[in-house]
Amino acid sequence: MAKGETYEEFTAKFEPKRTTDDCYTPPEVFDAVLSWACREYGIDPADVVRPFYPGGDYEGAEYPDGCCVVDNPPFSILSKIVAFYQDRGVGFLLFAPTLTCMGIQRCSKVVAGAQVTYENGAKVNTSFVTNLDRFEMRSAPALRSAIEEAQAAGAPAMPKYDYPAEVVTAPMLARYSKYGIDFAVTPDECEFIRALDMQREMGKGIYGSGYLIGGGALARRADADRLAAARGGGADVKPPTTWPLSARERAAVSRLGLST
């Protein structure tokens, strides 16, 4: 490892980089799209073929008579895939990026414009191309609504925690930015943490990590919070889980800023 490099930073260099061709579809989103397609085009779910998966070969896949491909293909070769199915008379409804779908030839464009969060974390404004529709292009409000509802229902609920003023996280700083508030902390006023002591005892942590602050930063944060509330931030409703500082952490806070 390089000097000063953390283990996480070292191992991250060896992880495969994902592109838009690695947008694996969340099951709830695919199910919503398939249900819409079955109603809209009279597709029998038993006839649906999904040839696009890691290591799959869509050109060598079997396409029984009367089958229909409903799947999320690699976006970078979408035009080639559409031509392949059109030349062979295979029905298809394929996921496509909204911003470039109009350039795909020999197919209809079903523009839902729904932002989909794929399983690799990529957020793509998504529409569809098909040879099942009688229109060259169309909007699809019902399809968009189905996708949005599916994602809302399938999204895991993130735990909401309340932290003392001595803890700063990225969402807290983002709140200040939202309300036009300048707030900054010097290196000697803070200490990086991934979790509070009490959280570690319960196998939990700060989502995205954070910092303990002390010294003058605490007073400046109090001013920033008052200003945010005055500018429309309001007083947040306290979430159910509150994490206090341990005695060790309070001692650490009291040391911060003393070198100034």
Pairing of strands 108-117, 137-139: parallel
pLDDT per residue as tens digits for the range 104-120: 999 999 999 999 988 77
Question: What pLDDT is recorded for position 156?
Answer: 60
Question: What pLDDT is recorded for position 76?
Answer: 92
Pairing of strands 241-242, 161-162: parallel
Residue 102 host element (H or E)? none
Backbone phi and psi for residue 119, each to the nearest 5 degrees, phi listed first = -70, -15
Residues of the chain with pLDDT under 50: 1, 10-22, 237, 260
Which residue, 150, 143, 133, is CA-closest to 93?
A: 133
In the chain, where the domains are located: 20-154, 161-255
How far is residue 210's CA from residue 30's CA, in Å, rounded to a whole number?
Answer: 36
Helix/strand/coil for 203: coil
pLDDT per residue as tens digits for the range 124-157: 999 999 999 999 999 999 999 999 999 988 766 5
Question: What pLDDT is recorded for position 111?
Answer: 94
Question: What pLDDT is recorded for position 179?
Answer: 87
Which residue, 77, 93, 89, is CA-closest to 34?
A: 93
CATH of domain 20-154: 3.40.50
* 241 and 160 Cβ atoms separated by less than 8 Å: yes
Question: What pLDDT is recorded for position 19?
Answer: 39
Question: What pLDDT is recorded for position 15?
Answer: 47
Helix/strand/coil for 171: helix
Mean pLDDT of the chain, nearest integer: 85
